[in-house]
Amino acid sequence: MKGPVLSILVPVYNEEKTLNTILSKVASLSIDSYEVIIVNDASSDGSLGIIDDFVRNFKGSPKVSLNVISHARNKGKGAGIKTGLQNAKGRYFVIQDADLEYNPRDIPKLLNLAMKSGLSVVYGSRFRGDIEGMASSNYNANRFYNFLLRRLYRTNITDMHTCYKMVETNLLKDLNIISDGFDYAPEVISKLLRRGIEIHEVPISFRGRTKQEGKKINYRDGIECAYKIFKYRITRNI
């Protein structure tokens, strides 16, 4: 039997306020055959109950399958991504955060370009699309990291930290990702660029949320990101 064309990973950690909405959106996309992998990273709120209820009551199209995996303890976003990737069966792999910052309706645009043009990697760029509500500190930090990446790797990438990194699953597995936190982003793009793989970008929409609404990334993650950009550029074997 032919496998799904796309695996969509939804990593979850304490996202009870937005979780049901995002799962409903992700499970109703215009894609012929895909799977949704939900990784609950030991949430301490009501997220797991919401996931269980959604799966139990799901009456969607046979073109989409749901797979739920739970960590016994909180391991970090990168660890959740690695768990999802290990279980992915789709030709392509992409992440959908459990909040409402990214609109799942943008995912088919990335997939259509990848399939039509035979591309290995397509990124969704907020900075080529529509940004709303991103804090000025986050906006400026993202612009700085992208500037740093472009200078070190001689690339035209505008959004290395986008959630929407659509990569052929076998290629992503072959990168041997080791990051367990938000440093997943610089590791993935650095390894792709070091291999000489071309990354195409598609404009997407973005609605930022505040820390009060659940935003988790902080300045320590930013420092780690800058360090990793340099590290993966100068490390001989990665």
What is the CATH number for 133?
Answer: 3.90.550.10
> CA triplet 100, 36, 123: central angle to 5 degrees?
60
Residue 1 within any structural domain of the chain? no
Q: Which domain holds residue 38?
A: 6-234
Residue 186 within any structural domain of the chain? yes
222-228 long-range CB contacts below 8 Å, 24 or more apart? Answer: 222/141, 222/145, 224/181, 224/182, 224/183, 225/145, 225/161, 225/182, 225/183, 225/185, 225/186, 226/145, 226/148, 228/179, 228/183, 228/186, 228/187, 228/190
Residue 172 within any structural domain of the chain? yes
Contact between residue 14 and residue 101 where contact means Cβ atoms under 8 Å apart: no
Lateral strand order in the sheet of 92-95: 64-70, 34-40, 6-12, 92-95, 165-168, 121-132, 200-207
Q: Classify the phi-psi angles of 62: left when phi > 0, otherwise alpha if psi is within -120 to 50, otherwise beta.
A: alpha
Residue 26 within any structural domain of the chain? yes
Residues in CB range of 60: below 8 A, 6 or more apart: 27, 28
Name the residue type at position 108: P
pLDDT reported for residue 227: 85
The structural domain count of the chain equals 1
pLDDT reported for residue 21: 97
pLDDT reported for residue 154: 93
pTM of the model: 0.91
Q: What is the pLDDT of residues 95-133, one digit of tens each?
A: 999 999 999 999 999 999 999 999 999 999 999 999 999
Q: What is the pLDDT of residues 181-222, one digit of tens each?
A: 778 899 999 999 999 999 999 999 999 866 555 455 555 767
pLDDT reported for residue 40: 97
CA separation for the pair 147, 135 (Å, rounded):
18
pLDDT reported for residue 217: 59
